[in-house]
């Protein structure tokens, strides 16, 4: 949201009060309270008839500074997000010149007097700061164009006009060459500089500026992060209003944000996920290939069996089968009842899929209750559905006829919905796909009185938490598994998330990857996407290229809208390629599952942007068509019909995982790949643990384990961890040179070592 008209003026109808000086700075335990008037105080008369902004500095966690800006402190207060705090994380000092708060290696310093200056530094070097005209309280007057309608369900404003009269904003310095990432799963340019970004969950597909997963957190290339602790709409102007600053604003009387220290991107992720929650370990079986019924296709148990048996006959390893919406009867979603016309024996079918086909099962749900379903009447009678101000149930016909919305702020409604889900899980369902949760109205009243503006983005958290709790209770930690589309800050604690409705094209492959890298830059550890694209039917070339890409993601699902995604629907080569990469991924499970365990320990994603691993290489800052899969594998999906792919290799000698070819890095490389190939390069000096099985992802990783060493022939003294499917971490020490390389496990385990130099 922009408030200014260039550098000198504000927009018509807007009145601005800026923190002009730190009038007084007061220590308050382990906090600092600063009173900042809207004008310089030159005499006592200046203290009359003007606003005063209160800025409070504190630390919830070592290496994190909280800044709270308030105008009227008696106004309704945002609940913020659920965060984890420590006591005594900061040291405070106030003298006549300034107040400083130090936590870990991060220091916040606010100088006494004018002009206003709040700086954040590490080792005496300023990372960013809030300067003149940065802290602002903005009022839209009677002559300002303001929307008379509530905020939109898709975009934030239904009319394009501001829906509120007062806003608080902050601006932080944007340094020369500094790049900004994150702000959730966004499908536009990976680097956010120059963009206006609204944090407002929306069902907009992957080809628009809207996003399913809006996270008010950004990551700077200078080694710090900023998290705005507001579940409400937050508007970011990333060098797009003031090109020297990142601005963020929210409606109301207060704004709270955190500055999070690094110094590396992975250090920032560590602290951010300590603050907002760690992703847990997900089960080994979930890394295998998932196959879906697709969305609006015709299917019954015979169809399902034909798909499952077809994969087995073609020697394509399959781990999970997913039933999309039409496992329930049309016009009845979500009633959580199998359509008896097509699935007359659901318990028997699920048992057969488990016992005879050796598969896990996932089913689709959403939080919307269709009027035709029995659950609607039950929920409406018990006041479990969201209501309008006049007491009527909020309903509309978009998606499902007459649907209502479960009010998860009502503990009884939450328990009721969980019991319905529990019955489904007990039938034999292993995972739940929590679709939707973005189109949440603002012209409603919530049971617990939460503001509709707060609940629009926060709803998905309550929805997914209810489902996650059922799976934890029924399946246990380490087996619980969601497949979610919408999220907000903290959603990373309930994995896995997929990228939403993409289209069946090379350009959509690219935008899908940008969304995944942006999500990884926002604290999410696992990520999937619809292989081949959701909308439309991919041509065989797109499907084959996407299969390789999808099976080199943390989680891999074949899913579409109006057509099936079984590989033989395309051609025999598609079958061969699916088999090849599904088996390859399974052999990489000791490496991938260990990376997943590291997600739970540090918050760093499995598929990650290049700058996570090479933050000091200026060439990687804008790279969004390649990524690191774990620490040591570089993947560059082929996104062209001719097979030509350009990618960048950082310094050192890299080795192709697929061919063994060695390529000198520190430069751009152009290669042409057949449909069954793509650039997958091993980092110089890496040790890659490879499993003995390609037929499934959940096996004994230590049985037949091979450590592949990419050492360039020099003397080696390295270690590599392998986390087993049961959660045991074994550290192997690798020593030697040339072909005389040996490894010993921390428990005395013997293992084969192969030097790929």
Tell me whether strands 289-292 and 556-558 are parallel, antiparallel or unpaired: parallel
d(Cα 264, Cα 105) in Å, to the nearest integer? 13
Q: What are phi and psi of 405, to 5 degrees?
A: -130, 125
User: How much is the average pLDDT of 347-369?
Assistant: 98
Average pLDDT over residues 673-696: 97
Radius of gyration of the chain (CA): 27
Give the pLDDT score at 740.
84
Q: Which domains does the chain have, with CATH numbers?
A: 4-172+226-231+252-261 (2.60.40.1760), 284-365+409-602 (3.20.20.80), 700-755 (no CATH)
Cis omega (within 30 of 0) on the bond before 476?
Answer: no
CA–CA gap between residue 129 and residue 172 (Å, rounded): 5
Apex 599 CA angle, 234 and 222, nearest 5: 55
Give the C-alpha separation, 323 to 295, whole Å. Answer: 9
Strand partners, 387: 393, 445
Q: For residues 283 and 555, what is the distance between their CA atoms, to the nearest angstrom?
A: 11
Region 551-558: mean pLDDT is: 98
Question: Given a cut of 80, is residue 538 above it in pLDDT?
Answer: yes
Mean pLDDT, to the nearest integer, of 326-355?
Answer: 97
Q: What is the pLDDT of residue 460?
A: 98
Encode pLDDT of 574-617 as tens digits.
Answer: 999 999 999 999 999 999 999 999 999 999 999 999 999 999 99
What pLDDT digit, counting tens, does each position of 234-267 carry? 999 999 999 999 999 999 999 999 999 999 999 9
Per-chain mean pLDDT for the chain: 96
Tell me the CA distances in angstroms from 622 to 4, 184, 670, 678, 689, one per residue in order. Answer: 29, 17, 17, 21, 30
Residues known to be catalytic: 435, 438, 501
* Per-residue CA distances from 444 to 46, 386, 451, 454, 459 (Å): 43, 7, 9, 12, 13
Longest Cα pair distance anywhere in the chain, in angstroms? Answer: 87
Q: How confident is the model at residue 205 (pLDDT cuts 50, 70, 90)?
A: very high
- What digits encode the pLDDT tens for the residues 477-493? 999 999 999 999 999 99
Cα dist from 639 to 19, 189, 237, 508, 548, whole Å: 49, 17, 31, 9, 11
pLDDT digits (tens, 9 = 90+) for 125-184: 999 999 999 999 999 987 666 665 556 677 787 777 788 899 999 999 999 999 999 999
C-alpha torsion 66→71→72→76, nearest 10: -50
Q: Find out whether 25 and 94 touch, Cβ atoms under 8 Å.
A: yes
Q: Which of 454-463, 501-510, 718-727 has the lowest mean pLDDT?
A: 718-727
Q: Which range among 87-91, 129-133, 191-195, 397-401 shows the weakest confidence by mean pLDDT?
A: 87-91
**DSSP string covering 613-642, please?**
H-TT-GGGTT--S-EEETTTEEE----STT
According to the model, what pLDDT value does residue 144 have? 64
**pLDDT value for 146:** 66
- For every residue of 54-86, DSSP letters joined together read EEEEEEEETTEEEEEEES-TTS-----------
20-42 confidence digits (pLDDT tens): 999 999 999 999 999 999 999 99
Helix (H) or strand (E) holding 425: helix 411-427
Average of per-residue pLDDT across 365-373: 97
Q: Which two tokens stand for residue 570?
A: 């395309």
Chain Cα centroid distance, residue 479: 20
The strand ranges marked E within 288-359 are: 289-292, 320-323
Percent pLDDT > 70 in the chain is 98
DSSP annotation of 113 reads B
Q: Residue 89 CA to chain centroid, in angstroms? A: 27
Q: Residue 546 belongs to what H/E stretch?
A: helix 540-550
């Amino acid at each position: 949201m922009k408030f200014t008209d260039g550098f000198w003026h504000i927009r018509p109808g807007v009145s601005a009060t800026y923190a002009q000086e730190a009038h007084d700075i007061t220590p308050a335990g382990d906090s600092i309270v600063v009173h900042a008037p809207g004008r310089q105080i030159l005499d006592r008369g200046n203290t009359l008839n003007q606003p005063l902004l209160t800025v409070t500095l504190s630390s919830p966690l070592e290496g994190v500074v909280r800044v709270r800006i308030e105008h009227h402190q008696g106004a309704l207060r945002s609940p913020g997000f659920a965060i984890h705090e420590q006591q005594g994380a900061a040291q405070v000092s106030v003298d006549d010149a300034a107040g400083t708060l130090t936590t870990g290696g991060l220091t916040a310093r606010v100088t006494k007097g004018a002009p206003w200056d709040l700086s954040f530094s590490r080792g005496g070097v300023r990372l960013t700061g809030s300067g003149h005209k940065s802290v602002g309280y903005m009022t839209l007057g009677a002559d300002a164009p303001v929307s008379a309608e509530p905020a939109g369900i898709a975009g934030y404003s239904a009319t394009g006009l501001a829906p509120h009269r007062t806003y608080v904003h902050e601006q932080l310095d944007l340094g020369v060459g500094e790049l900004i990432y994150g702000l959730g799963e966004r499908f536009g340019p990976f680097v956010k500089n120059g963009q206006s970004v609204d944090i407002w969950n929306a069902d907009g597909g992957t080809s628009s500026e809207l996003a399913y997963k809006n996270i008010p957190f950004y990551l700077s290339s200078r080694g710090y992060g900023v998290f705005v602790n507001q579940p409400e709409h937050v508007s970011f102007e990333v060098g797009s209003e003031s090109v020297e600053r990142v601005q963020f604003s929210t409606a109301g009387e207060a704004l709270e944000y955190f500055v999070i220290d690094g110094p590396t991107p992975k250090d920032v992720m560590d602290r951010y996920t300590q603050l907002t929650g760690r992703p847990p370990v997900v089960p080994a079986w979930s890394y295998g290939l998932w196959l879906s019924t697709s969305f609006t296709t015709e299917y019954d148990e015979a169809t399902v069996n034909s798909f499952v048996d077809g994969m087995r006959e073609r020697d394509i390893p399959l781990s999970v089968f997913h039933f999309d919406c039409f496992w329930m009867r049309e016009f009845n979603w979500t009633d959580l009842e199998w359509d008896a016309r097509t699935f007359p024996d659901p318990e028997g079918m699920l048992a057969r899929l488990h016992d005879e086909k050796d598969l896990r099962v996932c089913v689709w749900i959403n939080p919307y209750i269709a009027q035709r379903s029995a659950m609607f009447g039950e929920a409406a009678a018990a006041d479990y559905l969201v209501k309008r101000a006049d007491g009527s149930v909020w309903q509309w016909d978009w998606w499902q006829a007459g649907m209502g919305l479960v009010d998860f702020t009502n503990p009884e409604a939450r328990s009721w919905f969980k019991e319905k889900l529990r019955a489904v899980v007990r039938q034999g369902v292993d995972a739940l796909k929590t679709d939707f949760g973005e189109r949440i109205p603002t012209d409603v009243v919530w049971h617990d009185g939460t503001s509709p503006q707060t609940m629009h983005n926060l709803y998905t958290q309550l929805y997914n938490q209810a489902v996650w709790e059922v799976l934890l209770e029924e399946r246990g930690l380490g087996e619980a598994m969601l497949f979610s589309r919408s999220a907000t800050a903290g959603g990373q604690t309930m994995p896995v998330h997929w990228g939403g409705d993409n289209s069946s094209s090379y350009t959509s492959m690219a935008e899908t990857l940008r969304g995944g890298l942006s999500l990884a830059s926002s604290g999410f550890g696992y990520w999937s996407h619809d292989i081949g694209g959701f909308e439309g039917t991919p041509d065989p070339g797109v499907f084959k290229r996407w299969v390789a890409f999808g099976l080199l993601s943390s989680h891999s699902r074949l899913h579409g809208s109006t057509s099936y995604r079984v590989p033989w629907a395309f051609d025999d080569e598609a079958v061969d390629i699916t088999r090849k990469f599904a088996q390859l991924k399974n052999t990489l499970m000791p490496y991938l599952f260990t990376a997943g365990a590291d997600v739970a320990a540090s918050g760093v994603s499995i598929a990650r942007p290049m700058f996570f691993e090479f933050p000091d290489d200026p060439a990687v800052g804008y790279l969004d068509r390649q990524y690191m899969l774990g620490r040591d594998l570089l993947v560059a999906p082929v996104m062209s019909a001719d097979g030509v792919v350009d990618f960048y290799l950082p310094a050192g000698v890299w080795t192709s995982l697929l061919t063994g070819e060695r390529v000198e890095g520190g430069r751009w490389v152009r290669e042409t790949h057949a449909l069954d190939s793509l650039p997958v390069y091993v980092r110089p000096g890496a040790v890659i643990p490879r499993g003995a099985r390609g037929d499934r992802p959940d096996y004994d990783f230590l049985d037949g384990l091979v450590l592949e060493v990419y050492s360039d022939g020099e003397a080696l003294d390295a270690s590599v961890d392998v986390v087993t499917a049961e959660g045991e971490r074994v550290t192997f020490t690798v020593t030697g040179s040339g072909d005389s390389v040996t490894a010993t496990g921390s428990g005395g385990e013997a293992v084969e070592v192969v030097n790929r130099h």
